[in-house]
């Protein structure tokens, strides 16, 4: 017989998982403000508009994706570099806490639009890229890619915490937790940037979209570029040498 404590524990774990997923998408409930809530609500309304009113407008999807990439990757490159604009955020908003909240709000907005733009560019430019593959097999492949990628990304974020997911340690320029080697990090060096990007490819395969496939590759390539040029240097300096 299942005890009340077990049921309560299951609900608690499910609730925490939902909060984690929402936070990963761009809206962190525990640090939410009315401004941030309105921004995310308007962004979701925009996504619904695209889906309902511009479902096949690749001429809109391509510049939207490119702009989202430019602002998202440009933002983290400019802000999180060793001498980056993170110092300006802290000075402008008179302290680390407020500066980080503003940074997190902007990054959450960019996270959300990055995800929307990748899905939209695939759905708005359907094609026959994989027409030679059996449709049933293709659907199974898409499902496996999406579930495996999404699951690995969720458990990787759970292992490092949502603060590290938003690069809070890099924003502050110091260690805020021990270096994580649990969860997916026991088996992969960089599960979020690697396997965690599979849902983007799944969307492209599902719609047979060459633009969707290019977008997924381009996005992952830029994320790894950020890792090798900026993040890895921070990890080596702060976590591995202990500066």
Neighbours of 129 (CB within 10 A): 16
**DSSP character for 228?**
I
- Which residue did the predictor score with more confidence, 4 or 214? 214
Task: Using the predicted structure, report yes or no on whether residue 229 has a pLDDT greater than 60.
Answer: yes
List pLDDT tens digits, range 12-52. 888 999 999 999 999 999 999 999 999 999 999 999 999 99
Task: Using the predicted structure, report yes or no on whether residue 235 has a pLDDT greater than 70.
Answer: yes
Contact between 170 and 80 under an 8 Å Cβ cutoff? The reply is: yes
- Which residue did the predictor score with more confidence, 32 or 1? 32
Task: Using the predicted structure, report yes or no on whether residue 242 has a pLDDT greater than 60.
Answer: no
For residues 206-233, average pLDDT: 96
pLDDT at 186: 86
Percent of the chain's residues with pLDDT above 70:
95
Task: Using the predicted structure, report yes or no on whether residue 9 has a pLDDT greater than 70.
Answer: no
Q: Where are the domains of the chain?
A: 4-240
For residues 97-101, average pLDDT: 95
pLDDT at 12: 82
For residues 128-145, average pLDDT: 91
Q: Is this prediction's pTM over 0.85?
A: yes
List pLDDT tens digits, range 159-188. 999 999 999 999 999 998 887 778 888 888
Contact between 101 and 153 under an 8 Å Cβ cutoff? The reply is: no
Q: How far apart are CA 37 and CA 131, in angstroms?
A: 42
Crossing angle (nearest 10°) for helices 96-123 and 4-25: 80
List pLDDT tens digits, range 50-64. 999 999 999 999 999
């Amino acid at each position: 017989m299942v005890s009340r404590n077990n049921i309560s524990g299951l609900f608690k774990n499910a609730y925490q998982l939902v909060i984690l997923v929402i936070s990963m998408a761009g809206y962190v409930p525990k640090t939410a403000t009315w401004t941030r809530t309105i921004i995310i609500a308007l962004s979701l309304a925009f996504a619904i508009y695209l889906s309902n009113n511009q479902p096949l407008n690749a001429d809109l999807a391509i510049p939207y994706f490119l702009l989202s990439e430019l602002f998202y990757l440009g933002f983290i490159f400019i802000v999180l570099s060793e001498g980056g604009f993170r110092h300006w955020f802290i000075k402008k908003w008179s302290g680390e806490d407020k500066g980080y909240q503003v940074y997190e709000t902007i990054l959450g907005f960019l996270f959300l639009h990055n995800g929307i733009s990748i899905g939209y560019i695939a759905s708005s430019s359907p094609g026959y890229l994989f027409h030679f593959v059996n449709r049933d097999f293709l659907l199974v492949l898409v499902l496996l890619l999406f579930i495996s990628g999404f699951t690995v990304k969720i458990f990787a974020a759970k292992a490092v915490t949502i603060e590290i997911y938003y690069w809070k340690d890099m924003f502050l320029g110091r260690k805020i937790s021990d270096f994580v080697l649990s969860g997916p990090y026991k088996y992969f060096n960089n599960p979020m940037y690697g396997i965690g990007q599979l849902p983007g490819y799944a969307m492209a395969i599902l719609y047979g979209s060459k633009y969707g496939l290019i977008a997924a590759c381009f996005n992952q390539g830029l994320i790894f570029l950020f890792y090798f040029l900026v993040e890895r240097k921070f990890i080596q300096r702060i976590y591995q040498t202990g500066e």
